[in-house]
Structures are given as structure tokens and as C-alpha cells.
Structure 1
Amino acid sequence: MAKPNILDRAIATVAPVHAAKRAAARQALSIINSGYGNYGANVTKKSMRGWEYFGGSAKEDIEDNINVLRQRSRDAYMGVPAATAALKTMRTNVVAGGLTPAPQIDGAYLKLTDEQTGALREQIVREFALWADTPICDADRVDNFYKLQRLAFLSYCMNGDAIALLPMKHQTGQPYDLRVRLVEADRVCSPNGFDRLSPCEVQGHKVTSIVQGVETDADGMVVAYWICNRHPLSNFGTVRPEEMRWQRVEAYGAETGRRNVLHIIDRERIGQRRGVPMLAPVLEAIKQLGRYTDAEIMAAVISSMFTVFVQSETATDARPFGEMLPQEQQVDSADTSSIELGPAAIIGLNPGETVNFADPKHPNAGYDAFTNAMLKQIGAALEIPLEVMMKQFTTSYSAARGALNEFWRTCQMQRDGFVDDFCRPIYEEWFAEAVARGRINAPGFFDDPAIRKAYTECVWNGPARTNLNPVQEVNAAVQRVDAGFSTAEEEAAQMTGGSYSANIKQRKIEAAQKREVDEITKPQIKTGGNGDA
């Protein structure tokens, strides 16, 4: 305990009770302000007193605010260029034209020869293309599988999560019945808009807990999703509350264990059930930056309007010289009394009327510097370097390369998560149907999960990393392969997004064609009558 100072001793002599309270308060303060209590958890410093830090569980902090976050995130995407650039940049670099499967069958475990493994791999690729390359795979019959990837990933970034159902629907002339139905995050919501945090009965089902449409059991395990038949925010037609219905879809089939619902989500809190939009941490900064940009644009437009006002000394019944802008050029043509500015316009005024303009000095000379500073912070929060977001590589080669390498880690992490949540489960369900229909021969597929995994092992290749110096990148890739740090398959996927095995096969065909052409075009050697050349 701290020793009393001179002031404490003086107070103790005059007012012992007050001195005791003072000593007790100092002792309590010394206990509170230790470790983080001196810094981030301090509650006595003036700089920290105004910090509103009260929070709660993942439900209070995330799920209870998710509707506002989604709508503001979508609004920012549709109207603020920085938000649009961030989400589209992430989509293009993570998914681009779509992630393509490269089967990695474990032939050794399945006791297959290299020739058998290669032949089976080629058959799988051909069969998957029958399903994935056409809109038949889409339950809405609009996009093929690769366009569905782009839509699902962008929806996940914009709304925080995305839902995909895997119904079966037969269509004449098509070899597969598997369909992918994307559901926007808003439609997965609690019946009638009320979460259930205690056991109750909902539409004839006994439930333990429902939070934002995600039902969990007593152990916190997700067991079902509640999907509304209409979008809660839809204004299409007259939607009365009694017309809205919720369908309970089990996450996994009770008898088969089949995945019925795919939930694309990147959780950031334990116990979290719904995803947070990617723009959520920077929504305020992005909105303010958008407002600032709009103000600068409007100020620059007004400054560019060179308008002359003419004021006469005496009143006259004659029409003013120039009068006002022609009606077809006015923004508000419905208001006949409005006077609008316009380039090179001449407007007459009545006697005694004057117009005064403040010098706005726009565009602001500091606009670029301030905007770039804000975009750097926004990009850092979203893990997108400024150079990548703005598509401007004006710094040094080493700085641009460092930014691209750092962004590549972010894209790889996002890609791995998207593959786990969306691509791989769909591929496995398609593979199971292909085996069940006899289009792919996979003995033991339904008997042993280990055999099933050996058949369905797959690598998903996507857009390649941006190369600032292709020659150096190729040389580095060759050295990594030669040293055993990487494989030719991995380097081909990272540098071009292609498959090394497919490239070698195509090169063999091209080499044979080249030899055939060389034989045809090779100069013929003419010989003389005696056989001498």
C-alpha cells in the first residue's frame, strides 16, 4: 500500500473519516490501474472516458445488427466507388472466371496403376464438364457452375454470408439431376422475425434455439436453416405478413447424412451463427469518403459554371437579356421560377437584385492526398493494398511486388475458405451421383469414407498471381521445382491458373503436329544425274 503524503496526513488530522475514504479510493485505484488497466482498459484518463465500449456476445454484437449491416453494405457497393472497387477486386482475384477442379486421386491407396489413375482423372474431368459447363447445374437455369461461383462469392462478401441448397431435379436429356440453388442471406431468417433462445415449438417442430434463421441444438450444433419463401425486403406486389412462409431445411439428411445446405461464412467470433459483411468495419469511413467525393464533384461542377448576371438601373417591361437557361437545359424544369446556372449563360436581374459568390477554390488541392490516406486505412482493414484496390502501380518495383505478394496471401486464404464451403461439397455431391448412376466406376465409394475421400481428392485452380517480371518469376519457379520446394503442378496453377498435366498432354500433341509440319516444309535436296548432290 502506498505511503500517505503530506496532504493525506494533514487531512487525517482535520477530517479522519474523509482521509480514510481517500486512502481506500487510492488503494482501489492502484488495483484497477495495473497492466492493461494503465492503457487500453483505463477508465480514469480523460482520453478514455468517452470511449463507449459496452458490448456483448456474438448475438448482441453481430446477429442483432446484421440486417442494418447488410443493407448499408449493399448500398455502399451500389453507390460508393471505393466500396465497389474493394468487393470487385476481391472477387476478381479470388474467383475470377471460376475455380476449376484438378482431381488428385490417391491411386496408391486405391491400388490403381499410374495409367489407370490418369485415365480415371481424365474421365472425371470430362464428366464434370457435362454438368458444370451448362446452366443446367443452376436451379434457376441461368448461370453455369463457374458463374455461380462468382455470384456466390460476391454475395458472401457483400452480405457476410451466402446460402446454397442442393436439390435434385430431373430434366430430360441431362445425365445429372444435382442442382445448385443460391439463396440470399436475408431470406434465411427466424420465423416472423423473432429469435428463439429457449426450447419451444415452431410450425410443429420442437426447437432449442433459432438465431437469425439458424437453428441449433442443446449442444450448439447447427441442425437446420429456416428459409423464407419471399425476400423480407421485397416490394414486389403486396406482401402481407400472413403470406410469408418459412421452410425448415435440415443441414444434413437424417438418414443419409447428405449435406442439404451449404453455408458460406467466415466466422470471427465463437458462437457466431451469421457472417459479417466484409465492409462492416469500414462502413462509416467509406460512407464519409463517398460524401466527401460527392461534395468535391458538386463544388467543381458549380465552379465550372461561368454565368453572367446583368442588372439594369431602371425597371423595364422588356424581356431580360438572356433571361434564364432554356427549359430543356434546366435540371428542375417544372419550377418556372427557378434560376439555374449554366456554362456561358447570361441571366437578367431586376433592379436592386445582386448575386454574390464565395470563391470555393475547387477542386481542392489536398483532395488526392486525403483520399489516398483514407483509402490506405480502408485497404489495410480489408487486407487490400492501395495499389491493388486502385489498380495503380506507380511506386517502385519492390514495393509493388511486396503489395501483390501480401494480397496474394489474402486471396489464397479467401479461396481456401470458399473451396471448403462451396466448391468441394458440391463436387463431392456430383461425384456421388456420377458413381450412383454408373457413369464413373469407383468400387467401394459408398462403403468406406476413406475410399470416398481417395476418389474425391481435388485441387481447385483459380486466377494466377500477377507477375511484374515474368522472366524472373519463371526462373524462380524452375529453381523451386528443381530444389523440390514445389511441384510443376503447383507452379503452373499459381503462374497461369492452368494444369501442368493438361499442359504436358497438349504439348505432346503440339510437338507431334510440329514435327509433321517440319517434314512437309523441309527443303528437298536435289541430286544430279550421277547421284551426286
Structure 2
Amino acid sequence: MTEQFSTKGMIRMSAPEARVAVAKHEFQARMDYDFARATGDRTDIPQSSGEAIASLLDRKRGDIVRMSRHAARMETLAGRAIQVLDDYVVGTGIRPSIPDEDNGLIDLWERWGVNAGAEGVGSIYKVQSFALKERSAGGEAFGVLRYRAGRDDLVVPLQVQLFPTEMLPSETSFLPTSTRGMVLDKYGDVRSYHFFKNHPGSKGELLASARSETFRQGAETVVHTLIRNEVGARRGEPLLTRALLKIHDLEKFLDADLLRKILNANIAYWLEMPDLTEDEKEVLADTFYDPESGKYYNSEGAEVPPPPSAETLNAPKAGTVAKVPRGGKITTSAPADSGNTFDPFVRQIGMHIAAAVGVPLQFLLGDMSGINDRLYKAVSLQFERSVKTIRRDMNAEFNNPIWNAFVRLAYAEGKWTPPTGKTVEDFLNPAWIGQPFPNLHRAQEVSSWREEVDSQFATTSDIIRRQGDDPERVRREKLDDLKRDIEAGLAPVPAHWTDATIKKHLGWADDEIASYRALNAPAASA
């Protein structure tokens, strides 16, 4: 048995004696992270396999993506979660914001963006919407930048062709240097992608060999946005992964409750008749039917009346009284209702699904009952942070590469030149502004913004960006409105404008400025 260890005894020992005592003592291991000992008899606790996330996704992604696709297409809450994210992350579009020196580049972007999506997708903002939906349902989305020479409908010959996750194979045994459809360099960066020429799930006349054909696309012309939840993941994980089982369980419960309601609505009547007497049973057992004569006889050959037919009751019409046979009793089928457990159950499952997809329950169900304006504001701010995080990732992975390719190609094609003193690099990787969250109390929000600016906690540009607009665009339009009002005689020239400022913005000559100054000069005191 191990000797009892005493720290008080060590104090009285000499140094050599204390070292011997410590060496002889058997210290017990700390239990902080010793889960194997604490849970040795618990076989129900799931344990990780320890497999790398990249190889794990390679083996399981196909099944997960198929389940996620089915849920997004057929299950109400799954489709609703993706639609809510699209409404709040993309909305009417995530737009670039650049310095005021070149308003023409933004105008060129908007004109090009009308037909920026290849294969009939449409505007660049529709491309963003589809990319987000693919990113949510499939875990990732690819955009291939296509050079379109000779297209009259494109002011800059560039289009974005979207590919779903199924278009990039998970296994490329024909390429020894490829992993998960991507060829990497010695630093681990992607050099090229090998996409399927046709969707592997295409049916019809397409041959099986044609479904496996691939083509190489350089990484410099591919944009790849994905949901990466762990370091080392090369392919994305669908947003619905953790909610798939709960969504399936909820749909089964809703289908069962709907069937119960249908059966309850289809009222069925049962007519219960009294049992026959012993004599009636004996006579009925001795009655036989002769098909040739169509009559009934007993065992002695004597003709007997036909046995009584089964009593039935026709459903009564509105305003009538049904006649029930003597001794009959009417009962109706009444399946058990779900009672008051339906709403709490649906809400509880909805909370699991909302937590899994990162969408608040109130936004997921579209039900704001039971919360006041302060609670709504707290929930909205929480969701807004999540939306900004998704926008940050999409801007870095998807929007910036498309914008940079657009700017460089516009410059190379002679469609745009940088202002004096600026280079093309000054306009790359801009800030992006998304649609703002709706204001619950507009007047209160505006009042709080003014207080922030007056207290110097924020700038006017900060407030404008929060509202999903570009400060430079707002200033340009305010100045344009002011100049038009001055020219129309609806507003005076600001008193702080110098003669140089008037010449710059209004284009007046010196004599016009002098006449205006004289006309608006204060009268001299007598």
C-alpha cells in the first residue's frame, strides 16, 4: 500500500530526506482531461475517428451533398434557411465602393453587370445570389471567368460561369499530382482545377464515358467560395449538414400530423347492431342458396326465406334525420389529436435547426410573436454579425477576384483608364457594401445616428455604410442636386464657397461671380 504523503512532514525533513520521500510517493494522475477513465463504461458517447477533415469530406461529401440538395429542394425549413440567408447576405446585391476620383468605373461596372452571368444567369448580383445558394446547399460554388470577345452586349468582354460542387470530382486517379480535382503546387496553393465537361448526374442520351470527361482550368481564372469549418479542408461543407437529421424528423412529424387531421376531417360512421339470438343463428346455419333456381333451402329441402341482409346507414343530408334500425348504435371514428404538444415540439425542433444553420428562429419561421422591439433588436444584431461574417468571406473569395479581373480587363481593352496620379492597383480589392438590415423604428434610429456623429463616436460615412450605401455616391448626388438647385434659382451658393470653388463646381466666369457677390452683399449700415 502506498505510504500516506504529508506536506507538513516534508517541512520538517532535510532536503535529501524530502527528495527520497517524493521519489517513493506515487502521485495520482490529474483528471482534467482524462476522459478515458471518466467515461470508460459509457459506450453511448460518440467519439471522433481522428481522421483528417480533408479525407473525411472526400469519403462522405457525396452523401451529405445529396441529402442537402434534397432538403433544400423539398423540405420547407431547409429551403427557408437558404432563402433567408440570400435575402440578408446578398439581397439586392453587394456593391463595390471606390474613391470618388473615378465615378466612371462604377458606372462601367453597373453596365457590364447586366449580362455578367454566363448561360443566361443574368446580372452580376444574380450571380452573387446563385453563388451563395450553391455555397449553402452544396458547401461551395465555383465561378469560371470567361473571356467573351466580340460580344456587343458586354461593355467589358467578361462573363462568370457558375459551377456547382458536383462539377469538381472528388477523386482524380488519372492525375497523380491532383487531389480532390485540384492540382497543387509545392506550397499547397491551387494551380489548376479539373472540372467535368458535363454534370455527372446528367441523364438521357449522354454516354457514361462522357460524364467522366474533364477539362483543365487555370486557377487564375477560377473563383472558389466555400464553407470551411476546419483547417485543412479543401472542399466545402454544406450549411445544412448539422440540421439534416432534425429537418427529416420534423418533416415526418408534420406529415403524420397532417394525415391525422385528414382522417379526422373525413368523418366515418359505424353502425353497431345487436347480435343474433341462438335460434336465429341455428336457422341461418341451416340455410343454403341454390344458384340454378335462385332460391334458399334448408337441409330438409324445404324452401326458406332469404337470410336478413346486413344493416347499413346512409349518411344523412343536411337538415334531415337519419332512421336507425331497431337496436342499432351509431359511433364515429375520432383519431387522437396532437393536442397542445404540437406547437412546443415544432418550436423545439426549429430551435435545433436554427442553431445548426446560424439563422435565428424568428427569422427562420417568420414568426415574431412573443418578442418585443428590444428583443427583436438584440436578435437582429446577433444575426447581423453572422451576415457580415458571410459577406466578408464571399467578398474575399468571390467578389474581389471578379472585380479585379473586370478592372484589369477594362483597362487592357481601353474601356477605362485610371485618373491622373492613380494606377490600376489603387482600384483593386475595394470595400463592399451590402443591403442594410431593416429599421424597426426609423425616427429613433436616425436620432441615434445623429448623436453618434455629434459625439464623434462615428462619422457620417460610417452611418451611410451601415445603411448599405456608398458615402462617395451620396456626396456626389448631394453635390449634383445642390448645383442643379443653384442653377434653377432654388438655392443660394453656400456662403463658405470661394471663387475657386464656384468656378470648379458651377463653371461661372469671374464677372458672373462678381455680379453674384455684389447682388448678395449685405447692405451697408447707414
Pair in the same fold by TM > 0.5: yes
> How much has 1:175 moved relative to structure 2?
2.9
Asked if the contact 1:93/1:411 (under 8 Å) is kept, the reply is yes
Give the Cα–Cα distance (whole angstroms) in 2 for the partners of residues 408 and 427 of structure 1: 25
Give the Cα–Cα distance (whole angstroms) in 1 for the partners of residues 208 and 466 of structure 2: 52
Asked if the contact 2:117/2:160 (under 8 Å) is kept, the reply is yes
Give the Cα–Cα distance (whole angstroms) in 2 for the partners of residues 243 and 234 of structure 1: 7
Give the Cα–Cα distance (whole angstroms) in 2 for the partners of residues 315 and 411 of structure 1: 75
**Are 2:356 and 1:381 aligned?**
yes
Task: Report sequence identity in percent.
Answer: 20
**Aligned positions of 1:276-291 closer than 5 A:** 276-291=237-252
Per-residue CA deviations over 1:383-439 (Å, capped at 9, x if unaligned) read 221112222222122211110000000000001111111111111111011111222
2:476 to 502, 505, 510: 505
Asked if the contact 1:158/1:277 (under 8 Å) is kept, the reply is yes
> How much has 1:377 moved relative to structure 2?
2.3
In structure 2, the gaps of 5 or more residues are 5-25, 275-306, 319-328, 492-526
SS at match of 1:182: strand
**Are 2:410 and 1:434 aligned?**
yes
What is the aligned partner in structure 1 of residue 302 from structure 2?
Answer: none
**Are 2:368 and 1:393 aligned?**
yes
> How much has 1:274 moved relative to structure 2?
0.3
What is the aligned partner in structure 2 of residue 139 from structure 1?
Answer: 118
> How much has 1:310 moved relative to structure 2?
5.5
Give the Cα–Cα distance (whole angstroms) in 1 for the partners of residues 150 and 197 of structure 2: 24
Give the Cα–Cα distance (whole angstroms) in 1 for the partners of residues 259 and 485 of structure 2: 62
What is the aligned partner in structure 1 of residue 168 from structure 2?
Answer: 188
SS at match of 2:91: coil
What is the aligned partner in structure 2 of residue 7 from structure 1?
Answer: none
Asked if the contact 1:208/1:218 (under 8 Å) is kept, the reply is no
2:56 to 47, 50, 61: 61
> How much has 1:237 moved relative to structure 2?
2.7
Taking structure 2 as the reference length, the TM-score comes to 0.73
What amino acid maps onto 1:492 in structure 2? Answer: I
**Are 2:260 and 1:263 aligned?**
no
**Are 2:250 and 1:294 aligned?**
no
SS at match of 1:233: coil
What is the aligned partner in structure 1 of residue 440 from structure 2?
Answer: 468
> How much has 1:221 moved relative to structure 2?
2.4
**Are 2:402 and 1:421 aligned?**
no
What is the aligned partner in structure 1 of residue 496 from structure 2?
Answer: none
Give the Cα–Cα distance (whole angstroms) in 2 for the partners of residues 49 and 377 of structure 1: 21
1:245 to 193, 200, 213: 213
Pair 1:444–1:283, CA change in 2 (3 A):
farther
**Aligned positions of 1:8-23 closer than 5 A:** none
> How much has 1:86 moved relative to structure 2?
1.1
> How much has 1:166 moved relative to structure 2?
0.4
What is the aligned partner in structure 2 of residue 122 from structure 1?
Answer: 103
Give the Cα–Cα distance (whole angstroms) in 1 for the partners of residues 449 and 364 of structure 2: 27
1:210 to 162, 174, 179: 179
What amino acid maps onto 2:476 in structure 1? Answer: K
1:37 to 34, 49, 59: 34
Give the Cα–Cα distance (whole angstroms) in 2 for the partners of residues 93 and 242 of structure 1: 39
**Are 2:378 and 1:402 aligned?**
yes
> How much has 1:156 moved relative to structure 2?
0.6
Pair 1:165–1:470, CA change in 2 (3 A):
same
**Aligned positions of 1:57-96 closer than 5 A:** 57-96=52-91
SS at match of 1:248: strand
Give the Cα–Cα distance (whole angstroms) in 1 for the partners of residues 396 and 390 of structure 2: 10
Pair 1:500–1:442, CA change in 2 (3 A):
closer
Asked if the contact 1:227/1:248 (under 8 Å) is kept, the reply is yes
Asked if the contact 1:55/1:61 (under 8 Å) is kept, the reply is no
**Aligned positions of 1:326-365 closer than 5 A:** 359-365=334-340
CA RMSD of aligned residues (A): 3.3
Asked if the contact 1:58/1:272 (under 8 Å) is kept, the reply is yes
Asked if the contact 1:214/1:273 (under 8 Å) is kept, the reply is no
Choose 57-66 or 178-187, whichever is displaced more.
57-66
Pair 1:50–1:310, CA change in 2 (3 A):
same
Structure exhibiting the larger radius of gyration computed from Cα positions: 2
> How much has 1:238 moved relative to structure 2?
4.0
Choose 44-53 or 468-477, whichever is displaced more.
44-53
Pair 1:438–1:242, CA change in 2 (3 A):
closer
Give the Cα–Cα distance (whole angstroms) in 2 for the partners of residues 138 and 391 of structure 1: 31
**Are 2:159 and 1:179 aligned?**
yes
What is the aligned partner in structure 2 of residue 227 from structure 1?
Answer: 195
Pair 1:236–1:2, CA change in 2 (3 A):
farther
Pair 1:356–1:483, CA change in 2 (3 A):
same
SS at match of 1:35: coil
Paired residues, number? 425
Give the Cα–Cα distance (whole angstroms) in 2 for the partners of residues 367 and 97 of structure 1: 37
Give the Cα–Cα distance (whole angstroms) in 2 for the partners of residues 146 and 297 of structure 1: 39
1:148 to 127, 133, 136: 127
> How much has 1:288 moved relative to structure 2?
0.9
Moved over 6 A (4+): 311-314, 317-320, 354-358, 512-515
Asked if the contact 2:246/2:352 (under 8 Å) is kept, the reply is no
Give the Cα–Cα distance (whole angstroms) in 1 for the partners of residues 267 and 143 of structure 2: 56
Give the Cα–Cα distance (whole angstroms) in 1 for the partners of residues 198 and 330 of structure 2: 55
Pair 1:311–1:320, CA change in 2 (3 A):
same
What is the aligned partner in structure 2 of residue 371 from structure 1?
Answer: 346
> How much has 1:121 moved relative to structure 2?
2.2
Asked if the contact 2:137/2:239 (under 8 Å) is kept, the reply is yes
Taking structure 1 as the reference length, the TM-score comes to 0.72
> How much has 1:514 moved relative to structure 2?
6.5
What is the aligned partner in structure 2 of residue 157 from structure 1?
Answer: 136
Choose 176-185 or 381-390, whichever is displaced more.
381-390
What amino acid maps onto 1:379 in structure 2? Answer: A
Asked if the contact 1:300/1:363 (under 8 Å) is kept, the reply is no
Asked if the contact 1:388/1:403 (under 8 Å) is kept, the reply is no
> How much has 1:453 moved relative to structure 2?
3.2
In structure 1, the gaps of 5 or more residues are 5-26, 105-117, 252-258, 323-342, 344-353, 520-533
Give the Cα–Cα distance (whole angstroms) in 1 for the partners of residues 265 and 382 of structure 2: 42
> How much has 1:452 moved relative to structure 2?
3.7
What amino acid maps onto 2:375 in structure 1? Answer: A
Asked if the contact 2:121/2:127 (under 8 Å) is kept, the reply is no
Give the Cα–Cα distance (whole angstroms) in 1 for the partners of residues 172 and 37 of structure 2: 36
> How much has 1:164 moved relative to structure 2?
0.6
Asked if the contact 2:68/2:138 (under 8 Å) is kept, the reply is yes
What is the aligned partner in structure 1 of residue 7 from structure 2?
Answer: none
**Are 2:283 and 1:304 aligned?**
no
What is the aligned partner in structure 2 of residue 8 from structure 1?
Answer: none
Pair 1:305–1:499, CA change in 2 (3 A):
same
What is the aligned partner in structure 2 of residue 170 from structure 1?
Answer: 149
Pair 1:56–1:357, CA change in 2 (3 A):
farther
What amino acid maps onto 2:399 in structure 1? Answer: C
